[in-house]
Structure 1
Amino acid sequence: MSARDDILALGKRVGQSIIGQDTMVERLLLGLIANGHLLVEGLPGLAKTRAIKSLAKNLDAELSRVQFTPDLLPADITGSEIYFSEGGKGEFKFQQGPIFANLILADEVNRAPAKVQSALLEAMEERQVTVGGKSYPLPDLFMVMATQNPIEQEGTYPLPEAQLDRFLMHVEVGYTDEQSEAAIMRLVRSEETATKSKPGKSDDKLDPKAVFDARAEISAITVSKPVEDYMVALVFATRYPDKIDADLAKWLQVGVSPRGVIGLDKVSRAYAWLKGRDYVTPDDVKAIVHDVFRHRLILSYEAHAADIGPDKVIDRIVERVAVA
Structure 2
Amino acid sequence: MPIKWKSKILLFKIESVYGTDPTPTGAANAILATNIVFSPMEGQDVSRELELPWLAAQATIPAGLHCRMTFRVEMVPSGTPGVAPAWGPLLRACRAAQAIVADTSVAYNGISDNHESVCGHFWVGSTRYVMKGTRGNVVMRFTAQGIPYLEFNVVGLFSLPSEQARPTPTLTAFLKPDLVTNAKTTFELDSIPLVMRSFSLDLGNQVETRFLVGSEGVLITDAAETVAMQVEAVPLSTFDPYAAAANQDEVPIVITHGTVAGRTATLEIDGAQIQRPSGFENQQNILEWPLRAVPLPSAGNDQWVLTLT
TM-score range, shorter chain: under 0.3
Higher relative contact order (CA 8 A, sep 6+): 1
Which has a greater percent of strand? Answer: 2
Q: Which structure has the highest helix share of the two?
A: 1
TM-score normalized with structure 2 length: 0.23
